[in-house]
């Protein structure tokens, strides 16, 4: 595989990334995936802003949406699911039941598809709170 000329770069766990053949036998010690760390940081900031001790729905929603915008095109499905879970919890707490149901259902579907049982259970518990 030839190195890409520009981004966005596809995301893949390091053990599943293709081998890149560089010109003139050059070597590269690390393949940097731009914005991966930023996506995780945005998700974490969403969690912080959604915490009951410092709840800020507007800021939390913005951080989750920014994380989604970075994670979705890169195929970062676990992070996408976590963002949907965070948005679902946030919307449930602010009384936006329809949006909460939509995001929690998306999170649960993704967790089920990825066999992430621990997180699937958390999404299902949140969905029961809506009933």
Return the domain boundaries, the chain: 36-130
Residue holding tokens 């699937």?
120
Q: Place 112 in a pLDDT band, splitting at 50, 70 and 90.
A: very high
Lookup: tokens for 75: 């195929």
Q: For residues 117 and 65, what is the distance between their CA atoms, to the nearest angstrom?
A: 24
Given the candidates 1.25.40.10, 3.10.20.90, 3.40.50.11740, 1.10.1060.10, the CATH classification of the domain at 36-130 is: 1.25.40.10
Residues 33-79: pLDDT tens digits? Answer: 666 888 999 999 999 999 999 899 999 999 999 999 999 998 999 99
Burial label, 64 (beta-carbon count in 10 A; 0-12, 13-18, 19+): buried
Least confidently predicted of 24-38, 55-69, 97-111? 24-38
End-to-end CA distance of the chain: 51
Confirm whether pTM is higher than 0.95: no
């Amino acid at each position: 595989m030839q190195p890409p000329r520009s981004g966005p770069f596809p995301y893949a766990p390091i053990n599943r990334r293709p081998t890149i053949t560089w010109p003139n036998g050059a070597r590269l010690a690390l393949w940097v995936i731009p914005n991966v760390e930023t996506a995780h940081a945005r998700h974490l900031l969403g969690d912080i802003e959604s915490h009951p001790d410092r709840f800020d729905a507007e800021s939390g929603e913005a951080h989750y949406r920014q994380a989604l915008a970075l994670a979705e095109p890169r195929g970062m499905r676990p992070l996408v699911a976590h963002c949907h879970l965070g948005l679902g919890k946030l919307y449930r707490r602010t009384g936006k039941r329809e949006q909460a149901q939509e995001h929690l259902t998306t999170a649960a579907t993704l967790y089920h598809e990825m066999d992430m049982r621990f997180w699937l259970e958390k999404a299902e518990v949140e969905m029961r709170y809506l009933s």
